[in-house]
Amino acid sequence: MNQIRVALSKLPPGATIKLLRKVFSLPAPAARLILDDITKPLKSHKSWIHKVPWNGEWSGCWIGEDVKKLDKETLLKRINDCDIVLFNVHGKKKKKKKAKNLCQKIGKSTMFMESWISWIKVLKQSYGMEAIMMSVDYRLAPEFKYPGPVEDIVRAYENLTKTLNIDATKIVVTGDSAGAALILEMLFITHDPSMFEIVTDEVDGGASSGPTLSELPRPAGAVFSSPLVTDETTSNSWKQNVKHDYISQYTAKIIKKDYFEPLGPNSPPDTNQVLGIAKLETGFRTFLPEKVLMFVGNKEVLRDDALDLAMKAERDGIEWETVIEDCVHDWFCVREVVKDKKLLVKADAMFADFCYRAVRHIRHKSISSISVRGALGQVLYENGRGTNSTSEFSVMRKSNEGLAMVLEEEDEESSYQSNYSDSDDDTDQESVARTASFGKKNFSTHTANTVATEKT
């Protein structure tokens, strides 16, 4: 099976995307076999992984330099002494529970080792900050329906902040795709646990509740990569980007079927709404950390829904920073789909800069001048660091601007086709790290009206 992985590493991004699209359309056994091999850690990754079997609170692994053989006492000292703890929840996977063991099927807490090791290294090299990652495994569909996966993430975060007593001001939560959805749900539930009763197992044909949840401290920041924020597939990016992305309507249908129990004829409309956060219009400051960074692909189907959520959170006072690149779903973690690797180097630099500012409680510098143009916009700014010109599709800016520009430009089909043709795969596009100013702002009436018009 290693031959598949070697072959994949040699494929150009366009071919990798087509392969992933094909794999996700295969029957589950074949898809599991291939994807499990593709995401298996390399030999060079092994020293970075300290596995944690199920201990009644969480399972997964600690990821850090030379952590594999650390004894419990030394590991705990390492965790307490580090500058940043990354609490990580990876994307979709499937598991079966057999006796006391968890047999993983697709995806693991080690599935993006190359990306995660890069984040840790950049934090140390650029800021002299020691970081370690708590990467969490969780029960997933179809064997375990909602809210089982959410409970696993809540318990793991509770272990980190209560049992291990790690100061939340040095925690940055990270999640990609469905993992980002679980992070959002965990933050929402733990800001006021009295609102929720998580039902976990069936006992003698009936449902039982798990231990009472406690309010947990919010982390210093959150980083989302291509977050799954709604089960709806009707946005413009779903219509426009299915031809580019490896996530399809079929994939979305399977996820919805696997995660949620089928609704009865008299079920309330909000039953099983694990992705109901996307329907909120306000209240984000009550459960989100003050600082959020999001990476999203211009060619992914989830783009518009993610930008819509970001716009509403930012309007509510969240310092939300959005990085958009001309890529497909989860490009920040699935690095094989990105051709220009310099783009990833700069994205890692933005990630490290965000984490540094989050744990040091540093606000973004204000933008003194900004102009937007192009299919997604070209941002030019001056903020005391000099003026930077950007590539056509690489942008970091206020999320409401991002969504408005996307919606406006998608009406210009001829421009869209020229910018997103297959020939783009053969064109190197250089991007430059950008910063933006977030927080309480005066929002453009024109932008708000544009978004509202498009949605109606």
State pLDDT tens for residues 234-254: 999 999 999 999 988 887 777
- Is the pLDDT at 434 greater than 60? The verdict is no
Report pLDDT for 375: 31
The residues near 337 (Cβ < 8 Å, ≥ 6 apart) are 13, 16, 17, 20, 246, 327, 328, 330, 331
What amino acid occupies position 138?
Answer: Y
Q: Are 342 and 350 in contact (CB under 8 A)?
A: no
Q: What does the alpha-carbon distance between residue 152 and residue 193 come to, in Å, rounded to a whole number? A: 15
Nearest to 287 by CA among 339, 232, 222, 235: 222
Give the number of other Cβ atoms within 10 Å of residue 308's Cβ: 22
| Helix, strand or coil, per DSSP, at residue 321 | strand
pLDDT in the model for residue 104: 34
Burial of 376: CB neighbours in 10 Å, binned 0-12, 13-18, 19+: buried
37-94 pLDDT, tens digit per residue, is: 788 899 999 999 999 999 989 999 999 999 999 999 999 999 999 999 999 998 754 4
Q: Any residues with CB less than 8 A from the CB of 349 and at least 6 apart, and which? A: 122, 126, 433
Instruction: Report pLDDT digits (tens) over 302-345.
Output: 999 999 999 999 999 999 999 999 999 999 999 999 999 999 99
Closest by CA position to 251, among listed 147, 329, 181, 136: 329
Residue with tokens 């529970």: 97
Please give the single-letter amino acid code of residue 345: V
Closest CA to 353 of 313, 437, 293: 293
Residue 397: strand pairing partners: 322
Three-state secondary structure call for residue 212: coil
Q: At which residue do the structure tokens 């994307």 appear?
A: 91
User: In sequence order, which ranges of 213-275 are alpha helices (DSSP H)?
Assistant: 236-241, 249-259
The answer to whether 312 and 306 are in contact (CB under 8 A) is no
Q: State what percent of residues in the chain have pLDDT above 70.
A: 62
Q: pTM of the full predicted structure?
A: 0.76
- The token duo for 115 is 């990306």
Note the pLDDT tens digit of each residue in 172-200: 999 999 899 999 999 998 887 766 555 44
Per-residue pLDDT for 346 more than 90?
Answer: yes
DSSP code for 216:
-
* Higher per-residue pLDDT: 257 or 303: 303
CA pair distance 62, 87, nearest whole angstrom? 10
User: Would you say residue 204 has pLDDT above 60?
Assistant: no
pLDDT, tens digit, for every residue of 87-115?
999 875 443 333 333 333 345 789 899 99
- What pLDDT score was predicted for residue 322? 95
Better-scored residue on pLDDT, 444 or 264 = 264
Point out which residues pair with 87 in neighbouring strands: 134, 173
* Window from 115-124, 155-164, 308-317, 431-440 with minimum mean pLDDT: 431-440
Nearest by Cα to 226 from 243, 212, 246: 246
- Whether pLDDT at 440 is above 50: no
Average pLDDT for the chain: 74
Distance of CA 194 to the CA centre of its chain: 27
Report yes or no: 359 and 170 within 8 Å, Cβ to Cβ.
yes
- Rounded to a whole number of angstroms, the distance between the first and last alpha carbons of the chain is 49
Grade residue 216 by pLDDT with cuts at 50, 70 and 90: very high
Q: How far is Cα 419 from Cα 455, in angstroms, rounded to an integer?
A: 24
Q: How far is CA 106 from CA 37, 113, 115, 254, 362, in A?
A: 9, 15, 18, 14, 38
DSSP 422-435: GGGGGS--------
Cβ-based neighbours of 328, under 8 Å, separated by 6 or more: 17, 241, 244, 245, 246, 247, 297, 299, 300, 337
Mean pLDDT within 147-173: 92
Amino acid at 278: A
